[in-house]
Amino acid sequence: MSKQYYTEQPITRTLEENYMPYAMSVIVSRALPEIDGFKPSHRKLLYTMYKMGLLGGSLTKSANVVGQTMKLNPHGDAAIYETMVRLTRGNEALLVPFVESKGNFGKVYSRDMEYAAPRYTEVRLDKICREIFSDIDSDAVDFVDNYDGKLKEPVLLPTAFPNILVNPNLGIAVSMACNICGFDLCETCRTAIELIKNPEHDIMSTLPAPDFPTGGEIILDRAQMENIYATGRGSFKVRAVWNYLKKEHIIEVTQIPYTTTSEAIIDKMTELIKAGKLKEVSDVRDETGLQGLKIAIDIKNGVDPEKLMQKLMKTTPLMDSFSCNFNILIGGSPRVMGVREIFSEWTAWRRECVGRRIHFDLSKKQQRLHLLLGLKKILLDIDKAIAIIRNTEEDAEVVPNLMIGFGIDEEQAEFIAEIKLRNINKEHILKRLDETSQLEKDIKRLEDTLKDKKKIEAIIIKELEGIIKTYPTTRKSRIISDTEVTTYDTSEEIEDYPVNLFLSKEGYFKKITPLSLRMGGEQKFKEGDRLLETLSGTNREEVIFFTNMQQAYKAKLYEFDDSKASVLGDYLPQKLGMAENEIPIAMALPKGYDGNLIFVFENGKISKIEVKAYDTKSNRKRLTGAFSDKSPLCAIIHMAHDGEIALYTQSRMLIFDTSLIQAKTTRTAQGSAALALKKGQKVICAMTLDKAEIKNPSRYRVKTLPAAGAIIKEEDSLNRQISLE
């Protein structure tokens, strides 16, 4: 048996030598787009098609393109073809498709509609690619060797419009990702023009919202969208477009959010129907065909289609969120940028491309002028030039002899030597020399343009205006204000009726209807447990449970099943996911979050907190820092308005109006001293005056705080104590 040898190595070294190169390769060479709007796989595919003559040429089999692309892209043919599919007009994944297609390429809005094999489909470059490759042969971008060093490929494609924002782009790298939404081509070009003219331009005036190839309705919250434009991060909602066929009782969904598929929507609706949560719908089916996407929903008689669609938007992917993460490679480094910064980077890069193109044209014209100036010199003595060539015995000596005879350089001499014999006449040479004056003007113009940033920007603007005119577009996604959207209220479906709530000391909770309570007999508790608090409310109300760890847990009463007096009820620490050794010590019904919560502590302090301090816009279930932890809590009293409460110690009582205490907005406020306690004393009970059985309240009532209270008379002693110990 052979021995196995291995070398121990620190994990940090393994990560650095093995994992980091892979991670950087995924980030830089695969997953994230660059400023031209393409990932490497897109760029290699499109450049291959360009070199194959498919820009304006005839259609060719996709398999042919895939095979040729493998010369630049070392990945398998399946990955290359999948990349091509997304770029095609047939797949409808892009606002501006780059590949004209023939055959079945599937649909971006369908999960199950498979695209045909590459041997069956045909492709060529779309017309818009003229704006991508127009400068490719003018040294506008750098070229590098392909993976085997036998071919050259562009580092970037010199797109004449901000493609990085025009088409949606999703990429998942290592420890980072990008998710760029698309924008309308004409709106994007207009915005680029305005920002070049005025960097402080209001972007939303020309680029009001994103746009998607699948259409839908974008719910516009201006502040939210401005934040996305500024930071490159955030999310917005997109919902489906539908219409109602009144005679047939059918709702037709014709556009859906870009982030979902028709199958996902139908699956979710089917799930709700089976669960009995969508009784308004009798059938749902996919009727997508040659006319495009269509989801048909048969609804029952008497069902309001508006309310049903509000419900479906809430419970299915018919309304979905698009999370933006504008993470782009700039100079090989990933950067999350806002829309204004992306436009600025694109403009700077495009300015460089145009500058390089102008410099290329300038070099060509300077070279041509140089050759013609050499030709001009032989015009003085054409016979001499002919004699030099005729009298030179060796072919290799022709150029040197011309250089010596006319004082010209090798390049000029080579040009003269290559002139056809029939063209060595004065008339032909004079015609060629007529070009020199025009060339000199062109060279001067190009040199002036290179020196002037504004002139280069004027060229960019002119090209953008030409794109707007040549490729007119209209928005596919309609923009609606968030104020126009009616949100479905789930509570409308929930039956509302009176309930009695019971909380035990060990954390068991019961919700019992009045009828069941009357017929149920005595309340059942675990051995050693007892009733802690009882409240009356309705099934749709919200309840807040306060725990011994100064936390609050919010829940809807309808989330608890109706119970009976004869059962223990729900164990709240388990149902609400409380921490170990955490138990509820009080409960309250916020009832619209009006009024105040009165927190009574054993040290005699009272904290009056506005109930709205516990209201949250999100559906958070747990609130930390629910009340002060400086002293054990004795009682919590919810009061819609100020009123009198009674505090009890072992021997004294104090009655005061809560208006004497100022309300706080900070939940953890310690509160104000109400009862001046003697050593060894503590507050053991608190309740509203109407619940206390006091014969002579005026004996204990005070008008200022803190106060010592009065000794409790026997007739006013507690018949029952409500303690949270």
CATH of the domain at 141: 3.90.199.10
- Write the DSSP string, 98-128: SEEEES----TT-SS-PPPPTTT-EEEE-GG
Which of 111, 132, 158 lies at the terminal end of a domain, its last residue? 158
Q: What are phi and psi of 277, to 5 degrees?
A: -100, 0
Q: How far apart are CA 501 and CA 228, in angstroms?
A: 45
Q: Is residue 616 in some structural domain?
A: yes
Percent of the chain with pLDDT over 70: 96
Q: How far apart are CA 164 and CA 285, in angstroms?
A: 37
Stretch 222-231: mean pLDDT: 94
Q: Is residue 382 in some structural domain?
A: yes
Return the higher-pLDDT residue of 81 and 619: 81
User: What tokens were used for 554?
Assistant: 């919010």
Same domain, 572 and 659: no
Q: How far apart are CA 417 and CA 399, in angstroms?
A: 7
Same domain, 512 and 441: no
Q: Is residue 556 in some structural domain?
A: yes
Same domain, 359 and 274: no
Q: What local confidence, expressed as pLDDT, does residue 484 receive?
A: 83
Same domain, 611 and 709: yes
683, 600 contact by CB (below 8 A): yes
Stretch 547-565: mean pLDDT: 91
Alpha-carbon separation of residue 715 from 99, 577, 690, 702, 719 (angstroms): 93, 44, 16, 20, 10
> From the DSSP assignment, how many helices (H) and strands (E) are in the chain?
20, 33
Stretch 103-115: mean pLDDT: 93
pLDDT tens by residue, 244-258? 998 899 999 999 999
User: What tokens were used for 699?
Assistant: 């004996």
Enclosing H/E stretch for 657? strand 652-657
Q: Report how many domains make up the chain.
A: 5
Same domain, 279 and 297: yes
Which of 158, 191, 209 lies at the terminal end of a domain, its last residue? 158
405, 388 contact by CB (below 8 A): yes
562, 513 contact by CB (below 8 A): yes
Q: What are phi and psi of 407, to 5 degrees?
A: 65, 40
Sign for the pseudo-dihedral over CA of 480, 482, 483, 487 = positive
Q: Is residue 190 in some structural domain?
A: no
> Catalytic residues, which ones?
120
Q: Is residue 90 in some structural domain?
A: yes
- Mention every residue, 6+ apart, whose C-beta is less than 8 A from residue 112: 263
Same domain, 643 and 699: yes
- Mention every residue, 6+ apart, whose C-beta is less than 8 A from residue 698: none
- Write the DSSP string, 528-553: T--EEEEEEEETT-EEEEEETTS-EE
pLDDT tens by residue, 26-66? 776 678 999 999 999 999 999 999 999 999 889 999 999 99
> In the chain, what is the greatest distance between 2 CA atoms, to the nearest angstrom?
144
Band of pLDDT at residue 724, cut at 50, 70 and 90: very low
Same domain, 134 and 47: yes
Q: How far apart are CA 288 and CA 295, in angstroms?
A: 7
> Locate tokens 């504008």: which residue?
326
Q: What local confidence, expressed as pLDDT, does residue 719 receive?
A: 54
Q: How far apart are CA 116 and CA 122, in angstroms?
A: 10
Q: What are phi and psi of 573, to 5 degrees?
A: -55, -35
Q: What local confidence, expressed as pLDDT, does residue 38 receive?
A: 94
Enclosing H/E stretch for 350? helix 339-379
Strands of 531-538's sheet in order across:
531-538, 498-504, 508-512, 570-571
Return the higher-pLDDT residue of 71 and 14: 71
Same domain, 448 and 503: no
Which amino acid, one-letter code, is at 465? Answer: E
Q: What local confidence, expressed as pLDDT, does residue 345 receive?
A: 96
Lowest mean pLDDT among 79-83, 225-229, 483-487, 705-709: 483-487
Q: Could you give the residue ranges of the DSSP H alpha helices within 500-642? A: 514-520, 572-575
Q: How far apart are CA 302 and CA 590, in angstroms?
A: 36
312, 269 contact by CB (below 8 A): yes
The answer, as to whether pTM is greater than 0.75, is no
Band of pLDDT at residue 381, cut at 50, 70 and 90: confident
Q: Is residue 419 in some structural domain?
A: yes
Nearest Cα residue to 602 out of 633, 573, 576: 633
Q: How far apart are CA 311 and CA 304, in angstroms?
A: 11
324, 209 contact by CB (below 8 A): no
Q: Which of helix, strand or coil describes residue 321?
A: strand
Is the pLDDT at 376 greater than 90? The verdict is: no
Q: Is residue 480 in some structural domain?
A: no
189, 183 contact by CB (below 8 A): no
Range of the domain at 144: 38-158
CATH number of the domain encompassing residue 663: 2.120.10.90
DSSP state of 678: P
- Mention every residue, 6+ apart, whose C-beta is less than 8 A from residue 702: 654, 655, 656, 709
CATH number of the domain encompassing residue 403: 1.10.268.10
Same domain, 594 and 720: yes
Q: What local confidence, expressed as pLDDT, does residue 198 receive?
A: 95
Lowest mean pLDDT among 286-295, 473-482, 679-688: 679-688
69, 83 contact by CB (below 8 A): no
Q: How far apart are CA 126 and CA 429, in angstroms?
A: 44
653, 646 contact by CB (below 8 A): yes
pLDDT tens by residue, 320-365? 999 999 999 998 889 999 999 999 999 999 999 999 999 999 999 9
DSSP state of 396: G
Residues across the chain: 725
Which amino acid, one-letter code, is at 386? Answer: I
Same domain, 407 and 441: yes
Q: How do 552-556 and 622-623 pair as beta strands?
A: antiparallel
Lowest mean pLDDT among 16-20, 200-204, 545-549: 16-20
Stretch 118-127: mean pLDDT: 96
Q: What local confidence, expressed as pLDDT, does residue 452 receive?
A: 92
Q: Is residue 181 in some structural domain?
A: no
Band of pLDDT at residue 172, cut at 50, 70 and 90: confident
Q: What local confidence, expressed as pLDDT, does residue 491 receive?
A: 60
Q: Could you give the residue ranges of the DSSP H alpha helices within 452-522? A: 453-470, 514-520
Q: Which of helix, strand or coil describes residue 633?
A: strand
What is the chain's mean pLDDT, rounded?
Answer: 89
Alpha-carbon separation of residue 379 from 316, 401, 433, 517 (angstroms): 83, 17, 10, 120
Q: Could you give the residue ranges of the DSSP H alpha helices within 567-663? A: 572-575
Which amino acid, one-letter code, is at 614? Answer: Y
Q: How far apart are CA 134 and CA 95, in angstroms?
A: 21
Which amino acid, one-letter code, is at 297? Answer: I
> Locate tokens 């970037």: which residue?
156
Is the pLDDT at 476 greater than 80? The verdict is: yes
- Mention every residue, 6+ apart, whose C-beta is less than 8 A from residue 498: 513, 514, 536, 537, 538, 539
198, 344 contact by CB (below 8 A): no
171, 33 contact by CB (below 8 A): yes
Percent of the chain with pLDDT over 90: 57
Which of 586, 617, 652 lies at the terminal end of a domain, its last residue? 586
Is the pLDDT at 723 greater than 60? The verdict is: no
- Mention every residue, 6+ apart, whose C-beta is less than 8 A from residue 526: 504, 506, 508, 568
Is the pLDDT at 646 greater than 70? The verdict is: yes
Which amino acid, one-letter code, is at 70? Answer: M
Sign for the pseudo-dihedral over CA of 317, 318, 324, 327 = positive
Band of pLDDT at residue 721, cut at 50, 70 and 90: very low
Distance of CA 630 to the CA centre of its chain: 43
| Terminal Cα distance for the chain, rounded | 72
Stretch 401-413: mean pLDDT: 87
DSSP state of 29: I
Same domain, 580 and 599: no
Angle subtended by helix axes 222-231 and 339-379, to nearest 10: 50
Same domain, 581 and 598: no
